[in-house]
Every structure is written in structure tokens, then in C-alpha cells.
Amino acid sequence: MKVLIADDDRDLLGLIAFTLTQASYLVVKAADGPAAIRAFEEESPDIAVLDINMPGASGFQVCEAIRAKSRIPIMMLTVRGEEEDLIRALDLGADDYLTKPFSPRTLLARIKALLRRAGIENNSPVAAGRVALDVQEHTVRISGGNPVRLTKLELRLLQMLLANAGRTVSSDRLLVQVWGHRNSGDRQLLKQLVHRLRQKIEADPAAPQLLQTSAGSGYKLVVE
């Protein structure tokens, strides 16, 4: 698990890096905006922690740059009393924020929570109804049958549907969750992926029992 930390305060950077390393995360440090963007591109971290006030490019710009390419969880750091910043950051697609000063333990807890929410860290098998998903192995089992291998995207799609089992998930949301960023014109991708997933998990892919279409809105996983 690789964490990108961007902050211009050397001491704080060191402290955070130390704490996270202790907790056995890999840490990538950046002391200003441009360095953060570079680090993001070169290291492809799993999560980013960005200070809002940095020389070069502000945390906002970094956040925007990351969001243009990736859906990794982003946590913003800010000083007390600048709520305007936070609202803007959340609008830009940040997932969480922390107000300075904070204890390293708090940051750690928040990072864990973020990762858990993003479904990155949890590797235990998840199940609902007849569908049992093994994220580690990239496989599903339908009603106890043989495990079927899934590709990365198929897995992500199924994870999303499973997390909302029984309810319809809108195409737009799936698009964002699975691919990260897409102009909504790219429905064809989703169509294809659904089709391919159905070939793997449906007894009769032409008459889906599990992965059903909610015409005009999205798809849902039917569980009994």
C-alpha cells in the first residue's frame, strides 16, 4: 500500500512518513505541488494526502491533476478555520480532509477508513445471496459452483454491484467507480463490460438472472 504525502512543512512530512512507515505503508514524499504531481505520475500511489497550502501548485491544483487521471482516495490537509477551502476541495473530488494540527494516530485512522471505504484494502471474500466474490483471487463463485476468473474491470464492476446488492446502481456511478473518470458518453464501455461479465456469471447470458438491467437507469445485482 503506497501513500503519497505532500506538504511543505519538512518536520510534519517527516513525522507523518515515520508514522506511516511504522504502520508498514510505503511512503512517497513531496515538498511542493509540482513534486507531488510528478510523484503521483511516477509512483502511482494508492492514496494521496495533500496539504492545501503549498508553494508551486496548491493542493487544489494537485487534487485536480490527480482526479483528471485517477480515482484514488485523496485526503486534504488544511489549517483550522478555512472552511471555504474544504468545500472547494470536496467539490474538486477530494474524499476526506483533516484539520491541522492533528495527531499522527488520527491521520492513520483516517487513512485506514478511506482505504476501507474505497474497497482497496479489504481483501476478504465478500458474498451476497448466490454470489461469492474473492477479491484476492479475482474469482467469483455462483451458488457454490466452480470459481470463475474475473479480469480487473469485471471484478471492480461486480464489487460495486455487490456492495449495493439488490439496488439499482446508476450507469454514471458505475462508470466513475470502475473507470475513474469518463465523459458519460462512454456508456459503450459499460455495455461491453456488463456483457462480458454476464458471459461469465450467468447460466443463460441472454436471460440474465443475476445482473439485471434497470432500463433507463443502470444495473443491479439480484439476490434472494
Binding site for DNA (CB under 7 A): 149, 151-154, 171, 179, 186-189, 191-196, 198, 205-206, 208, 213, 215-217
Which of a second copy, DNA, none sits in contact with 189, Cβ below 5 to 8 A by type? Answer: DNA
- Round to whole Å and give the CA distance between 111 and 119: 12
Rule CB under 8 A: say whether 15 interacts with a second copy: no
Compute the 3-state secondary structure of the chain and give helix, strand, coil in percent, each to the nearest 5.
40, 20, 35
- Round to whole Å and give the CA distance between 44 and 26: 12
Rule CB under 8 A: say whether 181 interacts with a second copy: no
Stretch that binds a second copy, among 3-11, 23-31, 50-58, 213-221 (CB under 8 A): 213-221
Type of residue numbered 187: R
- Round to whole Å and give the CA distance between 190 and 19: 40
Rule CB under 8 A: say whether 186 interacts with a second copy: no
Q: Which helix (H) or strand (E) holds 199?
A: helix 187-201
Q: Which of 10, 38, 69, 105 is the binder for a second copy (CB under 8 A)?
A: 105
| Shortest distance (Å) from residue 116 CB to a second copy | 8
Residues binding a second copy: what is the number (CB under 8 A)? Answer: 32
DSSP-derived letter for residue 42 is H
Residue closest to 143 by CA, chosen among 57, 219, 197, 222? 222
SS3 195: helix
- Round to whole Å and give the CA distance between 182 and 185: 8
Rule CB under 8 A: say whether 129 interacts with a second copy: no
SS3 51: strand
106 vs 217 by CB, closer to DNA: 217
Stretch that binds a second copy, among 3-11, 43-51, 54-62, 109-117 (CB under 8 A): 109-117
Rule CB under 8 A: say whether 79 interacts with a second copy: no
Backbone angles phi, psi at 212, to 5 degrees: -100, 155
| Shortest distance (Å) from residue 186 CB to a second copy | 19
Query: Which residues of this chain interact with a second copy, rule CB under 8 A?
Result: 83, 86-87, 90, 95-96, 99, 103, 105-106, 109-110, 112-113, 117, 119, 136-138, 149, 151-152, 164, 167-170, 173, 214-217
